[in-house]
Structure 1
Amino acid sequence: MIDEDLLNEFGAVEIKIGKGVHLFHEKQKAAHYFQIKFGKIKMFNLTADGKIFTQGFFEAGGSFGEPPLFTDSNYPACTIAEEDTTLLKLSKSRFFKLLKENPDIHFEITRMLATRLLYKSMQLKVISSFKPEHRILSLIDYLKKEEGIPESQKFGVSLTRQHIADLTGLRVETVIRTVKTLEKDGSLKIIGHKIYR
């Protein structure tokens, strides 16, 4: 999201973490802005009974964990590298300085946070109220919109069935069965195991 040269100009450092390594944990004090250069990060919570609830997946060019920087609070979730990942890490104070000196970037960060907030609100409603078919289609439609893909154009979902399950609160078996049902009724297409809508 933020140009790497600009991040470097404000003192960002490059860090590498291996697959399966945690970057930060829930309730840890938020102190840095993180942007992914290569790789993939999963943000999640552990429920009281030890189950994982996935908040989101973040890939190259994406950032994550910003809200607690603005509220001077702790991280509300944990993060783990889904694959070997390279990040740009910028201290909170330098991140705020960058935003103050670059109002256009500040606006883009605000827009991105508002979009994520709307998504969370939508997902809470969908997870609590709707059948698996609706949950899966709502997630895919959100991802398609985020990518800026026109409704008339086919969109290939890069998530695995497990990732879809994690993001919709469903079991992976339910996702597999529901995707097949959605393919039969024409709501989705499956080409080479990849979902298209």
Structure 2
Amino acid sequence: MKTISCMNIDVNLLYSLGAEDKMYKKKEMIFKEGDYAFYYFQIVRGKVKLNNYNEDGKEFIHNILGKNQSFGDPLIFLNQPYPMNAICLEASEIIRLPKDHFIKMLEEHPHISLEMNACFSQQVYYKLMMMQSMASQNPILRLKALLDYLKSFHGGDCNSCFELEMTRQQIANLTGLRVETVIRTLKKMEKEGSIQLKNRKILY
């Protein structure tokens, strides 16, 4: 099935509207749970994880995003705080555009607004599908739902064209499974032919 990736707005347009480049260090926080949205963020290079922690301090990862992907967009339209943190997994360069400039851009370029609506709709669809599968006790269904969800941000419908660069621990944090279960299940999925494992990377 053809998918729609996260927003990737032309950087020249963003700069013309007053966007700026920000450099972040590995493990540096871009925003934290409870902050309000004042910017549109788009990754030029690097990787960002969206996460939060439960009352026991256990991490739950919502997503890991990379080059040309945006994050935190929906909160721009809501007067609500972020429900998660955005943390750099490596040194990253990120474009940020002030919220009021972003809204003005959508008013002047309605096609971007339509693309964003399609992107949000696709994300909600896959998120709901993933949540349904996460209720399953079958670890293969959980991992497949996660892979389908993450692949939807990158587009494409070919076999083994999506490369997932995550540690087994990060996958465990995304699915609520034990690391040992993730490792065992991935090997089983490879044997069944649904994924390929190459240099510890997952091809789906």
User: TM (normalized to structure 1)?
Assistant: 0.92
Equivalence for 2:99: 92
Equivalence for 2:164: 158
Distance in 2, Cα, partners of 1:145 & 1:36: 17
Asked if 1:101 corresponds to 2:108, the answer is yes
1:33-89 CA distance string (max 9 Å, x none):
111111111001111111111111111111011111101211111111000011111
Most deviating of 182-191 and 87-96: 182-191
Most deviating of 161-170 and 171-180: 161-170
SS in 1 for 2:63: strand
Cα drift, residue 159 of structure 1: 2.6
Distance in 2, Cα, partners of 1:111 & 1:163: 28
Asked if 1:186 corresponds to 2:165, the answer is no
Equivalence for 1:34: 41
Partner AA of 1:73 in structure 2: Q
- Change beyond 3 A, Cα 1:156–1:114: closer
Unmatched tracts of structure 2, length 5 or more: 1-7
Distance in 1, Cα, partners of 2:33 & 2:77: 16
Most deviating of 3-12 and 141-150: 141-150
Asked if 1:113 corresponds to 2:120, the answer is yes
Partner AA of 1:191 in structure 2: K
- Change beyond 3 A, Cα 1:78–1:47: same
Partner AA of 1:163 in structure 2: Q
Cα drift, residue 196 of structure 1: 2.6
1:7-48 CA distance string (max 9 Å, x none):
001100110110000111111111111111111110011111
Asked if 1:75 corresponds to 2:108, the answer is no
Pairs aligned (count): 196
Most deviating of 25-34 and 158-167: 158-167
Cα drift, residue 106 of structure 1: 0.9
1:70-129 CA distance string (max 9 Å, x none):
012111111110000111111110000001100111111111111221222122111112
Partner AA of 1:98 in structure 2: M
Partner AA of 2:107 in structure 1: K
- Change beyond 3 A, Cα 1:132–1:76: same
Unmatched tracts of structure 1, length 5 or more: none
Cα drift, residue 145 of structure 1: 4.4
Question: What percentage of residue pairs aligned between the two structures are identical?
Answer: 38
Equivalence for 1:7: 14
Equivalence for 2:136: 129
SS in 1 for 2:29: coil
Contact 2:127–2:149, Cα closer than 8 Å, also in 1: no
Contact 2:47–2:90, Cα closer than 8 Å, also in 1: yes
